[in-house]
Structure 1
Amino acid sequence: MFPIIGFVIIFSSAIGGFMLAGGNPLVLLQPVEFIVIMGTGIGSLFIGVPSHALIHLIKDIPQVFKGSKYKRKDYLDMLVFLAIFLKVVKTKGFLAVEKDIEKPIESELFLKFPKFIFDPELLSFTQQYLRTIAMGVDNPYHLDEVLGTEIEQYSTKYLKESAKVLQTLADGLPALGIVAAVLGVILAMASIAEPPEVLGHLIGAALVGTFLGVFVSYGIVGPMGGHLIAINEQDMNMHKCIHQVLLNFLHGYAPAIAVELGRKTLPINYKPTFEDLEEAVYNNGKKSSDPGSETKE
C-alpha cells in the first residue's frame, strides 16, 4: 500500500508542479526518449548481470508492493511450533522426532503450521538446523558460527541480490538520460534550418531525456531497490529468531525459556506478547498429539 501511495505522490508532485508552473504535461510524453533510456538500461543488465539474478529480479519485483512475507501471526506460530517441538525433544530426545524432521509433509506438528510447509526456504532452513543438532552437533558456539554464516547466505540469496541489480540500474539511468538528450540535440542540430517552433520542440524533447533518466532513477528504481533491502532484513528476522531459540536450547535452557528469550529478539511490530504466546502454546499443546508418536510404531 505505502509504495503505491509513494508512486502517486512522486508523479503528482513532479507533473503537478510542472503544470502549476504553466507547463503542458503532454510535452513530457516522449516515448522515444523513454525507449532509449530504459532499453539501453535493461540491455546493460543483460550484459553485466548473471541470468539467474535477472530471473529472481522479475520474481521479486511484486514483493515491493506485497511487503514482508512474514506477518505477526507467522512469528507467533513459529514460536509455538518451536516450544512444542523442543518440549518433545527435551523429554524424549531427537529420535522421537526424527521422522518429523525428515518428512515434515507427513508430520502432524508441521502440518499444524502450514507456513513451514508452503515456504520451501524456511522449511529447508529449519530442517537443516534441526537435522544438524540431531546428528550430534550440539556445541552452541560452533553451531552459532556455522549456521550464522548460513543465515547470511540466505540473506544475500534473493531479495538483496535483486536490490543490488535495481541499484545498478538506478546508478546508470541518469547517464543514459544524458545519452538520450545528446541524441535529441543531434537531431535538433540536424534540423537547424527548421522554424523556431519546430526547433524548440526538438530541443525540449531532448531535455526530457535528462529529466526521465534522473526521475526514474531517484524516484522509482532506486527506492524500489532500497525497499527490497528493507523487506529482506525484515524476513531475516524469522531465520534469526529460529537460530536464537535453538541456540538457547543448546545452552541448556528449558524450551519455554529458550522460546521466550527468542521472542525478545523480534522487532516490536512483529513481536507477539508474552500472554499471546503462552496462550497459543497452551491451546496447541492441548490439541496436539505427540509429534513423535508416529515414530514409535
Structure 2
Amino acid sequence: MINGIGLVVILACVFGSFIWSGGKMDIVLHALPHEMLAIAGAAFGAFLVSNSMLNVKLAGKGLIRSFKGGRWKDSDYRDLLTLLYALLSTFKKGGPTAIEPHLDVPKDSPIFSRYPRLIADHHLSDFICDYLRMMTVSFEDPHQIAEAMDNDIEKHHHEELAPQHALQQVADGLPAIGIVAAVLGVIKTMGSIDQPTEVLGAMIGGALVGTFLGVMLAYCLVGPLAAKLLETVDSDSKTFFVVKAAIVGHAQGLPTQVAIEIARRMTPSSKAPSFQQLETALEEAKNDLNALPV
C-alpha cells in the first residue's frame, strides 16, 4: 500500500511541477514509448545477461516481496518463542528420544502443527530441526553451536539477498542506459538538421526524455524497490537470531524459560511480545505439553 502511495506522489510531483512550470507534456508523451522501449529493453536484456535463470525468477518474486513487505507479524514472534519453549522443554525433560519424533516430520508433530505459519517457512523450520537434531548426537558445545548457526544464517542471508543485488545493479545501470537512449535521439536529430528550429527543438526535447527516464527509473522506482527488498530480507532474517539465542541458551544449561526470555530480547522492538504476553503464552504451552500423550 505504502509503495503505491509513494509512486503516486513521485509521478504527481515530478510531472505536476513540469506542467506547472509551463512544460509541454506532448513532447514527453510522444517520446515516451520509444524511449521506454530502448531503456527498459536494454535494462532487461542486461539483467538477463548478468544473472542465472534462477536469479531472474527470484528477482521477480523479490519485486512482489518488496511490495508485500516482511512476512512476520507480532503474533508470529510470540508463536516462535512459544514453539521454541515447547521443543526445548520436551528436549530437557525427555532427552533425544522425546524430541526426535517432532523433528523427523514437523508437519505431523503435535507441537509444530500448532504453528502452521512457522512450518510454512521451510528454511526456518529446517533450521530449528537441524540444530536440535545435532544436539541429540552430543553436539552441545555452546560456542560451536553459535558459530555454526552464525555461518548458516550468513549463508542463508547471502542467498536471500541475491535478487536484491541483481535489482540494485539494474538501478545503478539505468542512468547510463538512459544516456544511450538520449544519444540515439541526438543522432536522429542531427540527421534532421535541415528542419525548422521548432522541429529540432522538439526532437532534442524528445531525446532528453531518455536521460530523464533513465535517472527517474533508477532513483524513483527500481532503486527504492531494491532498498525495500533489502529491508524486507533483513526483517525476515530476525527470526533466525531468535532461534539461535534460544538454542544456545539451552546448550549453556540455562533454564528453558530464561533461554526463551533471552530470545525474546532478540526480537525486533516493534514486534516483541511483552514479558506478560509471553508469560501467558508459555503457560498455555505448558498446559498443552502436559496434555500430550507420553
TM-score (norm 2): 0.95
Q: Distance in 2 between matches of 1:44 and 1:26?
A: 30
Matched residue type, 2:236: D
- C-alpha contact 1:88 1:290 (8 A) present in aligned 2: no
Measure how far apart 1:25 and its partner are. 2.9
Query: What letter matches 2:140 in structure 1?
Result: D
Q: Which residue does the alignment assign to 2:5?
A: 5
1:288 CA drift (Å)? 4.3
Aligned CA distance change for structure 1 residues 109 and 135 (closer, same or farther; 3 Å): same
Structure 1 range deviating more: 23-32 or 213-222: 23-32
> How many equivalent residue pairs?
292
The answer on whether the counterparts of 1:155 and 1:236 sit within 8 Å (CA) in structure 2 is: yes
SS of alignment partner, residue 61 of structure 1: helix
Aligned to 1:223: 224
For 2:4 and 2:286, the matched residues in 1 are separated by: 42
2:216 aligned with 1:201: no
Q: What is the Cα-based RMSD across aligned positions, in Å?
A: 1.4
Alignment correspondent of 1:188: 189
Deviations 1:85-117 (A, max 9, x none): 211111111210211101111111100011222
1:247 corresponds in structure 2 to 248
Deviation of the 1:252 alpha carbon: 0.7
Give the whole-Å Cα distance in 2 for the aligned partners of 1:72 and 1:220: 29
CA-to-partner distance for each residue in 1:115-143, whole Å, 9 max, x for gaps? Answer: 22211221121121211112221001011
* Deviation for aligned residue 1:49: 1.6
Shift of 1:76: 0.4
User: For residues 128 and 201 of structure 1, what CA distance do their matches in structure 2 show?
Assistant: 65
- Specify the alignment match of 2:167 in structure 1: 166
Match of 1:35 among 31, 34, 37: 37
8 Å CA contact retained: 1:184, 1:203: yes
Are positions 1:127 and 2:129 aligned together? yes
**Number of the residue aligned with 1:103:** 105
Sequence identity, in percent?
34
Equivalents in 1 of 2:155, 2:96: separation in Å?
27
In the aligned structure 2, how far is the partner of 1:131 from the partner of 1:276? 29
Question: Residue 22 in 1 paired to residue 40 in 2?
Answer: no
For the Cα contact (< 8 Å) 1:100–1:110, is it kept in 2? yes
Give 3-state SS (helix, strand or coil) of 2:195's partner: coil
Structure 2: stretches of 5+ with no match in the other structure = none
How far the C-alpha of 1:4 sits from its partner, in A, is 1.8
User: Which residue of the other structure, out of 125, 140, 155, is the alignment partner of 2:157?
Assistant: 155
Any idea what the Cα deviations from partners look like across 1:174-215, whole Å, max 9, x if unmatched?
Answer: 011000000001111111122222222211110000000000
Q: Distance in 1 between matches of 2:96 and 2:5?
A: 49
Q: Indicate the SS of the match to 1:252.
A: coil
1:90 paired to 2:92:
yes
Report the AA paired with residue 123 of structure 1: S
Give the residue type in structure 2 aligned to 1:263.
R
Amino acid at match of 1:130: L
Q: Secondary structure at the match of 2:138?
A: coil
Cα distance change of structure 1 residues 26 and 263 upon mapping to structure 2, 3 Å threshold? farther
Q: Deviations over 1:29-68 (max 9, x none)?
A: 2110011111111111111122211110011111111110
Name the aligned partner's letter for residue 133 of structure 1.
Answer: M
Alpha-carbon distance between aligned partners in 1 of 2:106 and 2:270, rounded to the nearest angstrom: 29
What is the aligned partner in structure 2 of residue 142 from structure 1? 144
In structure 2, relative to structure 1, the CA distance for the partners of 1:182 and 1:254 (3 Å cut) is same
Assess if the C-alpha contact under 8 Å between 1:41 and 1:173 holds in 2: yes
Name the SS for the 1:265 alignment partner: coil
Query: C-alpha separation between the residues in 2 aligned to 1:124 and 1:257?
Result: 24
Whether the aligned pair in 1 keeps the contact of 2:62 and 2:164 (CA below 8 Å) is no
